[in-house]
Structure 1
Amino acid sequence: MSLLSLVAVLIVVGVLLWLVNTYIPMDPKIKNILNAVVVIGVVIWLLQVFGLLGSLSNIRVG
């Protein structure tokens, strides 16, 4: 993945999160949970893109 596409994905995710936070009325607790889930997901994705986190396909839940 090129650096340009990486930056483009981060910008799109950031703009979408801003739009949701700005224009969709919801409880602040739910907004905080949504923001935390998105940030954790992006951090895990970045770690996987840079090869610092192994493949997540080996992880089993349950």
Structure 2
Amino acid sequence: MPLINLVVVLIVVGVLLWLVNTYIPMDGKIKNILNAVVVIGVVLWLLQVFGLFSSLSGVTVG
């Protein structure tokens, strides 16, 4: 994945999260959970993009 695409995706995710936090009224606890889920998802996606998470992709549960 080219670096410019990576930066664009991170900017879009950040702007969308900011828009949700700013303009959608919700309880602070729900906002914190939403922010944590998005940050964890982005970190896992970045690890996958850079190949640091590929060793765990073969692990199955069940």
| TM-score relative to the length of structure 2 | 0.90
User: 1:57: Cα distance to partner?
Assistant: 4.7
Q: Would you say how many aligned residue pairs link Structure 1 and Structure 2?
A: 62
Residue pair 1:48, 1:55 contacting (<8 A) in 2 also: no
User: 1:61: Cα distance to partner?
Assistant: 3.8
Match of 1:30 in 2: 30
Match of 1:46 in 2: 46
User: 1:54: Cα distance to partner?
Assistant: 1.1
Fraction of identical pairs, as percent: 82
Match of 1:3 in 2: 3
Residue pair 1:21, 1:31 contacting (<8 A) in 2 also: yes
The code of the aligned residue for 1:42 comes to V
CA RMSD of aligned residues (A): 1.4
CA distance in 2, matches of 1:9, 1:55: 24
CA distance in 1, matches of 2:37, 2:44: 11
Match of 1:13 in 2: 13
User: 1:47: Cα distance to partner?
Assistant: 0.3
CA distance in 1, matches of 2:19, 2:56: 29
Q: Which segments of 5 or more consecutive residues in structure 2 lack a partner in the other structure?
A: none
Q: Which segments of 5 or more consecutive residues in structure 1 lack a partner in the other structure?
A: none
